[in-house]
């Protein structure tokens, strides 16, 4: 079986980058992708078809970016590394919020229909920076058919300021209702100061939620709290 993650091209003791030019879920258009030993064969085909990679959460040395590659199906996912000098363009999820796939016939797919409904009717989204990630975001950035009729719509909502449980519940309820009417499901991740948190978890009222961070997942009572004791 092929590995799902390439070895890091730097020593574990290397200084880690805090470069803010790219963030988790940003899509990077690359002029070149290093080929580590043991890379699955499909990665080269995928990169030739669409020279894009998605930024993932992982510590990286200066000049190196942790990225993920998408293949033709769910089984084809590979965590690897790009060099900062090879980045041609950085595209954030919010850049796609008003976009459509180039092929008109694909606009009726449930994930894209849901996206259209949300941008027109989801009042609770207004005031947030947000956009599609996952297969919908990838297709909108690359114009390579990626979304299927069964694809969910993945969303990222940037929440630098505290989102109350009541606000989260209202947001979750409205988005799910719109998605249901459009014939799809929506999976929302909040981008908080502590990392990525599932909206469904924060709205559920559970005492601690999982925050996905470059240093690893953390169980937190409040992803917006600054006290170390919250971990």
Residues catalogued as catalytic: 152, 154
206-211 own/partner pairs: CB under 8 Å, 24+ apart: none
Q: What does pTM read for this prediction? A: 0.92
Q: In terms of domains, do 192 and 206 share one?
A: yes
Q: In terms of domains, do 50 and 147 share one?
A: no
Chain segment 116-138, per-residue pLDDT in tens: 999 999 999 999 999 999 999 99
Q: Residue 2: which pLDDT band, with cuts at 50, 70 and 90?
A: low
Give a yes or no: residue 127 inside a domain: yes
Q: In terms of domains, do 64 and 172 share one?
A: no
pLDDT of residue 228: 38
The residue with tokens 């069964």 is: 150
Q: Residue 13: which pLDDT band, with cuts at 50, 70 and 90?
A: confident
Chain segment 191-228, per-residue pLDDT in tens: 999 999 999 999 999 999 999 999 899 999 999 996 43
Query: Does the pLDDT at position 1 exceed 70?
Result: no
Q: In terms of domains, do 139 and 207 share one?
A: yes
Give a yes or no: residue 20 inside a domain: no
Q: In terms of domains, do 84 and 141 share one?
A: no
Report the number of distinct structural domains present in the chain. Answer: 2
Give a yes or no: residue 111 inside a domain: yes
Give a yes or no: residue 14 inside a domain: no
Cβ neighbours around 219 below 10 Å, total: 12
Mean of the per-residue pLDDT values of the chain: 93
Domain holding 56, by residue range, is 27-91
Chain segment 78-117, per-residue pLDDT in tens: 999 999 999 999 999 999 999 999 899 999 999 999 999 9
Q: In terms of domains, do 152 and 215 share one?
A: yes
Q: Contact, 156 vs 130, CB < 8 A?
A: yes
Give a yes or no: residue 101 inside a domain: yes
Average pLDDT over residues 2-15: 81
| Rounded (5°) CA angle 163-167-168 | 75
For 9, list phi and psi in degrees, rounded to 5: -85, 30
Q: In terms of domains, do 156 and 52 share one?
A: no
Query: Does the pLDDT at position 231 exceed 70?
Result: no
Query: Does the pLDDT at position 63 exceed 50?
Result: yes
Q: In terms of domains, do 119 and 147 share one?
A: yes
Q: In terms of domains, do 102 and 153 share one?
A: yes
| 3-state SS class at 195 | strand
pLDDT of residue 72: 87
Domain termination site, one of 74, 91, 108: 91
Q: Contact, 98 vs 170, CB < 8 A?
A: no
| 3-state SS class at 128 | coil
Q: In terms of domains, do 140 and 217 share one?
A: yes
Q: In terms of domains, do 76 and 139 share one?
A: no
pLDDT of residue 230: 42
Domain termination site, one of 63, 91, 119: 91
Give a yes or no: residue 10 inside a domain: no
Give a yes or no: residue 209 inside a domain: yes
Q: Which helix (H) or strand (E) holds 124?
A: none
Domain termination site, one of 39, 63, 91: 91
Give a yes or no: residue 19 inside a domain: no
Q: In terms of domains, do 49 and 129 share one?
A: no
């Amino acid at each position: 079986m092929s590995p799902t993650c390439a070895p890091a091209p730097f020593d574990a003791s290397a200084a880690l980058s805090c470069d803010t030019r790219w963030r988790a879920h940003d899509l990077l258009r690359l002029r070149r992708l290093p080929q580590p030993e043991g890379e699955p064969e499909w990665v080269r085909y995928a990169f030739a078809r669409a020279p894009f990679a998605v930024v993932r959460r992982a510590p990286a040395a200066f000049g190196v970016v942790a990225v993920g590659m998408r293949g033709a199906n769910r089984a084809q996912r590979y965590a690897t590394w790009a060099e900062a000098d090879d980045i041609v363009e950085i595209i954030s999820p919010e850049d796609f919020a008003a976009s459509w796939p180039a092929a008109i016939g694909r606009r009726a797919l449930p994930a894209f229909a849901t996206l259209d409904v949300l941008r027109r009717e989801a009042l609770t989204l207004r005031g947030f920076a947000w956009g599609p990630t996952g297969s919908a975001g990838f297709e909108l950035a690359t114009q390579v058919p990626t979304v299927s009729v069964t694809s969910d719509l993945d969303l990222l909502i940037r929440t630098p300021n505290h989102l109350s449980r009541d606000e989260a519940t209202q947001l979750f309820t409205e988005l799910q209702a719109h998605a249901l009417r459009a014939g799809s499901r929506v999976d929302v991740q909040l981008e908080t100061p502590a990392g990525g948190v599932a909206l469904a978890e924060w709205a559920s009222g559970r005492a601690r939620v999982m925050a996905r961070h470059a240093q690893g997942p953390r169980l937190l009572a409040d992803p917006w709290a600054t006290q170390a004791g919250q971990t």
